[in-house]
Structures are given as C-alpha cells and as structure tokens.
Amino acid sequence: MASRFLKLALAVFIGAAAAFLVTGLARGESPGQTWSRFAVWAGGGSAGKPVLTAGVLVGGSEHAAADGRIGLPSGTRFQLRVHSSRAGVVHLHAINPQGQASDKPLWTADIAAGAYLVTPVLRLEGAQGKETLSVRLKAPGAASEIARQDVQIWHQ
C-alpha cells in the first residue's frame, strides 16, 4: 500500500513540475525562474522572500520605484544595490529603448548567500525611453539562471 502511495505521490510531483516548466517556458521564463516558482509552490522555497532583489541608488540614496520603474534624466549617474538569498554569480545585462540586449554582461560579481552588492557607477546616455537592467543570478559555472530581477528606468 505504501509503495502505491509513493508512486502516486511521485507521479503527481513529476506532473506538476512538468506543468510548471511548460507554462513557464510559454511565458518566456528561463528554466531557473520556473524552477524557483515551482520550489515555492511545492514548499521548498520561501514564499514572499525573493531570491534576488535590486534597487536603484542615486547619490548613495535608494530611490523607490513605482511598479518596478523609476524615471531619471539623461546623464544621471546611478548604481544598483543587489541582494541575494542564495550564493552565486550576479550578471548585469542591459536592454536599450530599441529592445537591443547586451551580448555580454556589463558587469559580473560573485555574491554570497544573504549578501548585498553595489554595482559600479552607471550612466544614462543615448536614446531616451525605457531602459531595462536585467540582474541575473547563476550558480558558478552554470548556464541557466537561478533567479532574475529586471529594473526598468524611464530615461527622460
């Protein structure tokens, strides 16, 4: 009897994981993002506590972003403050207002679990519009993401 129950529980778990993966990929999520959502759903993660967060610092002060977006004038110098609940390697990518993404990370750094990092000073220049800075956390040597946090800046 216990063997049947274990097989049934395993089948349900595998089916749920497959459903999360298929719907996550259809949404454009990376497998790492989908797995993080599944881990929270299955009780393996901590709901309400994101793995990765990023905030905008201007002049050393954090600026609150409404709905994940912040407006800054051209020429503004700023930094991102990154917090991760897991250890890994942080990669910072940029997507310009025309939708062109950087081929390689603008910056990378190792981060310990529970640590904070501040990026080097960045500057808004070029075409005005919505700039997206994509902060991605990967396990050392891994290709897939553990977590991702996008910060949108309205370049005015």
pLDDT digits (tens, 9 = 90+) for 86-137: 899 999 999 999 999 988 999 999 999 899 999 999 998 888 899 999 999 9
8 Å CB contact between 140 and 93:
no
Residues 20 and 66 reside in one and the same domain:
no
Residues 60 and 7 reside in one and the same domain:
no
- How many structural domains does the chain have? 2
Residues 38 and 115 reside in one and the same domain:
no
Cα 129–Cα 62–Cα 30 angle in degrees, nearest 5: 60
What's the domain range around 82?
50-156
**Dihedral of CA 36/38/41/43: which sign?**
negative
Residues 19 and 62 reside in one and the same domain:
no
Residues 61 and 109 reside in one and the same domain:
yes
pTM > 0.75: yes or no: no
Residues 153 and 110 reside in one and the same domain:
yes
> If we measure between CA atoms, which residue out of 145, 150, 152 comes closest to residue 33?
145
